[in-house]
Amino acid sequence: MTPPGQVRHLLSLDDLEPAQFHALLDSAEQFLKTGRPLVGPLQGRIVASIFFEPSTRTRVSFEIAARRLGADLVNLDVMCSSRKKGEADRDTLSTLAAMGASIFILRTGVAGLPAELAGHLAPDCGLISAGEAEFAHPTQGLLDMLTIRQHKPDTDKLRVAIVGDIAHSRVARSAVRGLRLMGISDIRLIGPESFLPDDGEMPGTFQGNDLASGIDGADVVMALRIQRERMKLAEMPESADYFQRFGLTEKKLAALAPDAIVMHPGPINRGIELDDEVADGPRSVIREQVRNGVAVRMAVLTTVANSLAESDRAGRA
């Protein structure tokens, strides 16, 4: 049983109370200031990183974060693991746990798998989602909110537009939850009809197909990658048409608030979701998002490690 206020597993931002969410952002900000701690809070822990879907940013930043905190890191090469011989995922995790791994970082395209595997773990192990199908990407949500908070500390009046493939995006779902935790209510979801969420899934958001009116006066615009891997062929838009209607260009962004920022979780498809001038321009905070990812993952790993240590102490008391 995880003691109240502790975070043993982080599967979705829905798991976090507002105080825990803000404490993680504060902790990440602290790591940005101080860098590597002198005594690693993960010294002696083994962290196992298991990615069933491709990744550059999330996988590498978790790896850097774990090493900076003093952990020993195991990156399971899933293409060469015994999973290829039919081993069940829960057995793979319990095998790694038997070797001493106690924190698991998991990316999967299978909805529900993080919760299922977390449910099979022993009490001295925790699991952090590094992206679950189209449903949750909690550390991306945290790093996006940290980036917004750094640029726009007065968050409650912010107007935020999320543009593109919202329906298939775990980034968008975690962002909407994070924006709400930050008290932001003007959330606009803009994209082609087939890319908007189902009716009722994100109540309280404005949803529309017109980019110009959707981003008018926005302080933050978050462009999303088109998730072709989650679509049937017939659903895929033609790239040139999409860019013409929803691709971000400096000309289209003239409608934003004067000091607006432009975000993208990466990887970027240049010339489809946004052009070079926007991606590399003065409003872009895309590199800052990536940098913040390391600090956020240090904060999450530390919190989970502290929760495991706390429940271990409680169990022995």
Binding footprint of ligand CP on the chain (CB under 6 A): 55-58, 131, 140, 265-267
Q: Which is nearer to ligand CP, 187 or 296 (CB)?
A: 296
Tell me how far apart the alpha carbons of residues 137 and 12 are, in angstroms, rounded to a whole number. 7
Coil/strand/helix, residue 38:
coil
Closest alpha carbon to 131 in 145, 120, 142? 142
Q: Which is nearer to ligand CP, 129 or 302 (CB)?
A: 129
Q: Which is nearer to ligand CP, 8 or 57 (CB)?
A: 57
Q: Which is nearer to ligand CP, 37 or 109 (CB)?
A: 109
Q: Which is nearer to ligand CP, 6 or 164 (CB)?
A: 164
Tell me how far apart the alpha carbons of residues 151 and 147 are, in angstroms, rounded to a whole number. 7
Q: Which is nearer to ligand CP, 141 or 308 (CB)?
A: 141
Half-sphere exposure of 178 (CA within 13 A, CB side): 26
| Rounded least distance, CB 55 to ligand CP, Å | 3
| Rounded least distance, CB 138 to ligand CP, Å | 11
Tell me how far apart the alpha carbons of residues 31 and 28 are, in angstroms, rounded to a whole number. 5
| Rounded least distance, CB 125 to ligand CP, Å | 23
- Residue 162's H or E segment, with its range, is strand 159-163
Q: Which is nearer to ligand CP, 188 or 297 (CB)?
A: 297
Task: Report how far Cα 61 is from the mean position of its chain's Cα atoms.
Answer: 12
- Cis ω for the linkage preceding 138 (within 30 of 0): no
Whole-number Cα distances in Å, 214 to 25, 69, 266, 274: 28, 42, 22, 16
| Rounded least distance, CB 266 to ligand CP, Å | 5
Half-sphere exposure of 264 (CA within 13 A, CB side): 26
Residue for token digits 């008391």?
A: 317
| Rounded least distance, CB 123 to ligand CP, Å | 29
Q: Which is nearer to ligand CP, 131 or 138 (CB)?
A: 131
The amino acid at 210: D
Q: Tabulate helix, strand, coil % of the chain (nearest 5).
A: 45, 15, 35
| Rounded least distance, CB 43 to ligand CP, Å | 26
Closest alpha carbon to 256 in 206, 217, 209? 217
Tell me how far apart the alpha carbons of residues 129 and 106 are, in angstroms, rounded to a whole number. 5
| Rounded least distance, CB 60 to ligand CP, Å | 8
| Rounded least distance, CB 140 to ligand CP, Å | 5
